[in-house]
Amino acid sequence: GQQVMQIPQYQHVQEGEDFTTYCNSSTTLSNIQWYKQRPGGHPVFLIQLVKSGEVKKQKRLTFQFGEAKKNSSLHITATQTTDVGTYFCAGRVIYNQGGKLIFGQGTELSVKP
């Protein structure tokens, strides 16, 4: 079945260092979404990318969607302790009668002050 693989599973960085998580799909995606889940919390929507090669920025966060719409990345510049949490990508696969959002395994980010 369709899978969305996310790497790395864990990332420990020093505050101020950059961080990147990668998401790869076995199937072409109609769009990809990114979520952040703080420890003990629920996922919160960050952004959605739809177009091939799309790049979007939110302050220190940069999101990219690959040309083939099969991969995506989230890059955080100069991490802060508030960035701690697990980042999930979720790719939307369209079927004849609808679509399904498939979540990656998530990348848990810890930031050492």
Partner 1 sequence: GAVVSQHPSRVICKSGTSVKIECRSLDFQATTMFWYRQFPKQSLMLMATSNEGSKATYEQGVEKDKFLINHASLTLSTLTVTSAHPEDSSFYICSASLPRGMNEQYFGPGTRLTVT
Binding site for partner 1 (CB under 8 A): 1, 31, 33, 35, 41-45, 48, 88, 92, 98-106, 108
Nearest approach, Cβ of residue 46 and partner 1 (Å) = 9
Of 8 and 77, the one with the shorter C-beta distance to partner 1 is 8
| DSSP of 32-84 | EEEEEE-TTS--EEEEEE-STT-EEEETTEEEEE-TTSSEEEEEESS--GGG-
Strands 61-65 vs 10-14: parallel, antiparallel or unpaired: unpaired
Nearest approach, Cβ of residue 19 and partner 1 (Å) = 18
Nearest approach, Cβ of residue 61 and partner 1 (Å) = 15
